[in-house]
Structure 1
Amino acid sequence: MTSLKKAKGKARRAAKAKAKEDEAVTNQPLGAQASQRNDAPMSGTTTTARCNHGLVPSHYHPQSHVASNNLQTCKWFLQAFVNEFDGTAGDFLAAYHATKEKCAVVWNDPSMMEFVVSFLLACGAGKVMEGNIKIASKYAALACYFEQYIQVELLNTRPFPNWPKIKELYAANSHTTVSFLKRRIPCSCLDEKYKEVKSIPKIGLCCSPECPLPCGKTELSATMCCSRCRAANYCSRKCQVAAWQGHRGECGFYAELKAKFKENKENS
């Protein structure tokens, strides 16, 4: 009997110690958590020590150890996704198909996907404050893709992702990146930075493979959108005509998706 009591007491003390440890890790700034683990999804997944830019794991669930597990799951998911991502803006779907079964527990859970988006926004905001716009834009593009995945696949509130916007974010300048992140984080950490960059014209991308502009980049205000599918942007009418043969198939596909989506909404 004495041995049983000792064993139970030891188990209770171990459980309390583990709970305190989890709470301490969860309530640290996100950057400190990432530095203590080797499972960060991408290099530099940190936020500032002053603010987590809306991502407070202990607020995600009343039990802090569950929130900590969500953070670890989020990092595992992003690592798996990035491992299948070749670093180009057009490879989001390939990475999705490569991970949809392995990471189904995340892909099929709206709350977990929202946590992933929140994590990426926090990391992106942190990178902006560090002055690394290039990396921040990659976080923003990933956040935008997952945000729209939720809307398309889980909530059925839009027919398909806004691919031009996602691709523009992947190659974005400081104004585009900061504006996207600033609108989505609850803190005011990027307000001053936005004032610095808001006069810089936002960058748009021309979808024509034959576009003469370097990397197809132009001012966003100068781009025109395909009026039928609204899934491709061009810098000029000339580029739109030149790209039509390649765009024709996907244009019809997206236009059909839009029509079916509208019909389903009207009939629901």
Structure 2
Amino acid sequence: METMTIFTNPSSTLRRSPALTVGFRPPPMLSICSKKNGDSTASFDELKGLNSSNGALPRVPENQTSASPPDLRFDRLQIPDDEVECQYNRVFGNFVAREVIFNEEYWVVARLRAECHWENQPDVCNVQYLKAVFAQKEFYALKRQHASKLGEKCTCIVAMRSNQSSDKITILKSVVGTLEISMRRLFSGETFPGEIVKPPPFGSRAPGPGYGYVSNLYVPKSSRRRGIASNMLLLALEVAKSNGANEVFVHVHKDNIAAQQLYGKIGFQIVEEAGHCLLVDHNYLMRLKI
């Protein structure tokens, strides 16, 4: 049941906006979601990053990362399903949810996050330029975050159209959804993230298994109502459980009834005692024990 915007609040590491129209919050250039024939994917020129003044994506200086920007191939074909090698995947209908493998997939994820961030603000001046800048920053942040061996472990999940060996479909036209699951630990004395407790000495973390945190869940409008969001969530739960977590949390805006229903269908429940901590942000904290 996905009749709404599907997105969750972004990871605290990236510090982006809230949302879920099933969770992340809330920049004329080209839009990642084409309106023709219900196609939710971006065109080649939309994602290629041409340096021009007519609304194409601006180039990113090489000094934004310590390494040279990756050589993105926007004509790269999707790997046939039977040739994909990854730890986590889930097949459902004509789709498959799995870990991100290629840089091009990270780029589409970044563009989807930009689309989600500005989805309900179509009248903003230069919205497409702002989307492009947002996506480029998000891309490099994703690459740094998932390459780092320090801090919380994050797994970026994408939902893609199934692909057989005979199919010739590019990655850009394959991705139909994304989310992120990160592994975290509560501070000593906390029973849920953000609980107001006596400050622990030196910010010590609680012993025992950590918890999973879902963020940046988004499915473009033309790909909703196909079970994509719920199956990505089920895969995220598998990731969390395999990493030793015994519970998973997510923040959802208090007015986002559709999001609350989606998570409730999976088994999440609102953490009532967290309400006073989240009043300013207008969010509910939801939890699922696994």
Q: Same fold (TM over 0.5)?
A: no
Report the structure, 1 or 2, having the larger strand content: 2
Report the structure, 1 or 2, having the larger helix content: 1
Give the structure, 1 or 2, with the largest relative contact order (CA under 8 Å, sep 6 or more).
2
Normalised to the residue count of structure 2, the TM-score between the two structures is: 0.27
**Higher Rg:** 1
